[in-house]
Amino acid sequence: MTPAEAIAMAKENDVKVVDIRWMDFIGTWQHFSVPISEFTESVFEDGFGFDGSSMRAWQAIDNSDMIVLPEAGTAKIDPFFKVPTMAIIGNIHDPITQEAYSRDPRGIAKKVENYLKSTGIGDTIFVGPEPEFFIFSNIRYASEPHASFYEIDSPEAHWNTGDGEIPNLGYKIRPKHGYFPLPPADKYQDMRTEMMLTLENLGIAMECQHHEVASAGQAEIDLRFDTLLNMADNLAWFKYVLRNVAAKYDHTVTFMPKPLYGDNGTGMHTHLSFWKDGGPLFAGNKYAGLSDTALYAIGGIMKHCKALCALSNPTTNSYKRLVPGFEAPINIAYSSRNRSAAIRIPMYSGSPKAKRLEFRTPDPSANGYMAFSAMAMAMIDGIQNKIDPGDPMDKNIYDLPPEELAEMDSAPGTLEEALDALKSDHDFLLKGDVFTKDVIEYWIDYKMENEVKPVISRPHPHEFYLYYDI
């Protein structure tokens, strides 16, 4: 879509307001709105100015001016605003040099697509994430010097079998029994359908929606694969749509990886493949119908998995999901059909076009632009250096004897460990100037100072249970 076509689209839909959106460094959509009179072809070159020092982890106050340049092809009509509004995603630039801002996550995604082409390996990165989430009917939390607590609720939750609601009809979901139940146990069929169809109406291709394993409203809605940049844009829309549809029902959605103790956490299994000249590069005659290129890509993911986790599992809460016993893929291995491995080769179809790897460790707290880009860079590194992934693991890793399990490498156990891994293993991300030293160092520093240290320095409610009368 050209700027002229975006403007014509606005006129056809009687748009009164244009909403300019971009992704901040940590992974949250930001926005401001302008009247349609301000939306001329010149803004696609001149952009809109804003204060970069008021954004998390961006500019200092003495160097705060930044501009956002709308990208015409991202224009969509917002489905929630009362006044007809066009939403359009922008790229962040320096107002003086006009250069792309290195800490703009969307800019990083654009660079990795260009870098793949420059290597000659391929010309297209396809990404297909499976974001899970929870739908809750209520959430309360506080973190103060003298008190800390959280309380969540769901009409599906097993802990409500004894609730005093009249009538209490039962139909609650036991822990780990939430995979594919029909209504009335599944309370959110209609809500998930509205989420899925709203996304489809926005032009985002969807595959399916369903309840997930955990009690209390865990769900999954799968997006049909797309190119890396488009998929990162789609994931931003995905989170926005789900939150707003849930709010219409007086419910709330969270992408926190582990909001419930003792039940399954929330992942974002991510399917990845490289193509060139319209053909797939991952199909071949090797293990599970893969090519050497695909196996080397798997080798790259396995080699850099711990560092990748700093971007694909970027919260302290992420590592409450990555523990044994909850279908969490913590062991760095690959296999066909085996969901206990960090990397799975899906075998649903024999078509060469369907050949891909599924990286099962990521979760939806990730910034899609940065996480997908990092995964692609690891795959490129694996292909360039012909990294052998070793033998596949075609058995249930969770049932291995302790001595055999001890020999396997695993994902980090904490965000701090992941950040340490990224600190020592990030050269593969710097190729092609996709990520920069500044981005890596600032990401590590921000996460340590704003998330790791504040969490580890605070008493946990369970510590009072364990230690108050010690």
Tell me the β-bridge partners of 220: 132, 210
Residue among 212, 381, 416, 451 flagged as catalytic: 212
Is 327 an annotated catalytic residue? no
Rounded to whole angstroms, the Cα distance separating 421 from 425 reads 6
Residue the block writes with tokens 């001016």: 65
Residue among 113, 156, 186, 220 flagged as catalytic: 220
Strands 357-359, 268-276: pairing is antiparallel
| Cβ atoms of 24 and 56 closer than 8 Å | yes
Rounded to whole angstroms, the Cα distance separating 394 from 335 reads 6
Q: Report the amino acid identity of residue 117.
A: K
Is 360 an annotated catalytic residue? yes
Residue among 51, 207, 409, 433 flagged as catalytic: 51
Is 41 an annotated catalytic residue? no
Is 51 an annotated catalytic residue? yes
Instruction: Identify the sign of the CA torsion 367, 372, 375, 380.
Output: negative
**φ, ψ dihedrals at 243, nearest 5°:** -65, -40
Residue among 21, 192, 211, 269 flagged as catalytic: 269
Is 339 an annotated catalytic residue? yes
Residue among 339, 391, 404, 458 flagged as catalytic: 339
Residue among 71, 104, 113, 132 flagged as catalytic: 132
Burial class, 20, CB count within 10 angstroms (exposed 0-12 / middle 13-18 / buried 19+): buried
Which long-range contacts does 42-49 make (Cβ < 8 Å, 24+ apart)? 43/70, 44/3, 44/69, 44/70, 44/72, 45/69, 47/90, 47/93, 47/95, 48/20, 48/90, 49/95
Is 212 an annotated catalytic residue? yes
| Cβ atoms of 395 and 298 closer than 8 Å | no
List all residues 6 or more positions away from 443 whose beta carbon is below 8 Å from its beta carbon: 25, 57, 310, 311, 422
Is 269 an annotated catalytic residue? yes
Is 38 an annotated catalytic residue? no
**φ, ψ dihedrals at 181, nearest 5°:** -75, 145
- Give catalytic residues, as residue numbers: 51, 130, 132, 212, 220, 269, 339, 358, 360
